[in-house]
Chain A
Amino acid sequence: MSASHYYLEATVASNISETSRVNTLVLRLREELKIVPGQFLMVWRPGDGEIPITPSLTMGETLCLTIEKVGFTSSRLASLKPGEKVFLRGPYGNGFNLSLPGRYLLIGGGTGAASLTPAYLSLVKKGVETLFLVGARNRESLVYVRRLRELGAGFQVATDDGSEGFKGTLPEFFAEVSSRDRFENVLTIGPERMMVKIAEKCVEQGVSCQVSLVRIVKCGLGVCGSCVLDPLGLRVCVDGPVFHGEKILGSDFGRFMRDEAGRRVEVVQ
Chain B
Amino acid sequence: MHPDTEVDVAGLVLRSPLMVASGVLGSSPSLIRIIATNPDVGAVVTKTVTYRPRTGYENPTLVDLGYGFLNAMGLPNPGYSEYRFELGSIKKSLEIPLIVSIGPSDEGEAEEMVEELDSVADGFEVNLSCPHVENLGMEVGSDASKASGIVKAVRGSTGKPVLVKISPNVTDFVANARSAVEAGADAITAINTVRGMAIDVNAMRPVLSNVYGGLSGKAIHPVAVRIVFELYEKIKAPIVGCGGVYDWRDAVELILAGATAVQIGSAIAHSQTGLKVFNEIGEGVRRYLALKGFSSVKQIIGLAHS
Chain A contact residues, CB within 8 Å of chain B: 1-9, 42, 44, 46-47, 49-51, 73, 85, 87, 218-226, 228, 230-233, 258-264
Contacts and interface: CB of A to CB of B under 8 A. Distances in A.
Nearest to B217: A1
A42 B270 CA distance: 18
Nearest to A234: B30
Interface in B217-254: none
Given A221-B269, A262-B76, A87 B27 contact: no
B45 interface: no
Contacts of A261: 53-56, 76-79
Interface stretch (B61-69, B117-125, B129-137, B182-190): B61-69
Interface of B: 23-31, 33-34, 47, 53-56, 58-67, 69, 71, 73, 76-79, 82, 86, 198, 200-203, 205-207, 209, 266, 268-270, 274
B61 A218 contact: yes
Contact of B66 (A4, A218, A225): A4
Of B24, B25, B33, B64, chain A has the most CB atoms within 10 Å of the CB of B64
Contacts of B77: 261-262
B108 to A, nearest CB: 21
Nearest to A44: B60
Nearest to A219: B62
B59 A230 contact: no
A155 to B, nearest CB: 33
A39 B73 CA distance: 24
Across the A-B interface, give the 3 residue pairs with the lowest CB-CB distance, nearest first: A225-B27, A50-B59, A260-B55
A220 B62 CA distance: 9
A233 B31 contact: yes
Contacts of A9: 202-203
Contacts of B33: 231, 233
Contacts of A51: 59
A7 B30 contact: no
A6 B64 CA distance: 9
Nearest to A4: B66
Contacts of A222: 269, 274
B268 A263 contact: no
Nearest to A217: B59
Contacts of A50: 58-60
A120 B67 CA distance: 38
Given A9-B202, A258-B28, 17 more contacts: A2-B66, A9-B203, A42-B59, A46-B205, A49-B209, A87-B200, A87-B202, A223-B266, A224-B24, A230-B28, A233-B34, A260-B55, A261-B55, A261-B78, A262-B47, A262-B77, A264-B78
Contacts of B55: 259-261
B27 A226 contact: yes
Contacts of A1: 66-67, 270
Contacts of B58: 49-50, 73
Nearest to B86: A264
Nearest to B204: A46
Given A223-B24, A223-B25, A225-B28, A263 B66 contact: no
Contacts of B203: 7, 9, 44, 46, 85, 87
B198 to A, nearest CB: 7
Contact of B62 (A3, A7, A223, A259): A223
B76 A218 contact: yes
A230 B64 contact: no
A223 B76 contact: no
14 contacts: A44-B203, A51-B59, A73-B59, A87-B203, A218-B59, A219-B269, A221-B64, A224-B24, A224-B27, A225-B26, A230-B30, A262-B27, A263-B53, A263-B82
A30 B270 CA distance: 28
A228 B64 contact: no
B30 A228 contact: yes
A230 B29 CA distance: 8
A8 B201 CA distance: 10
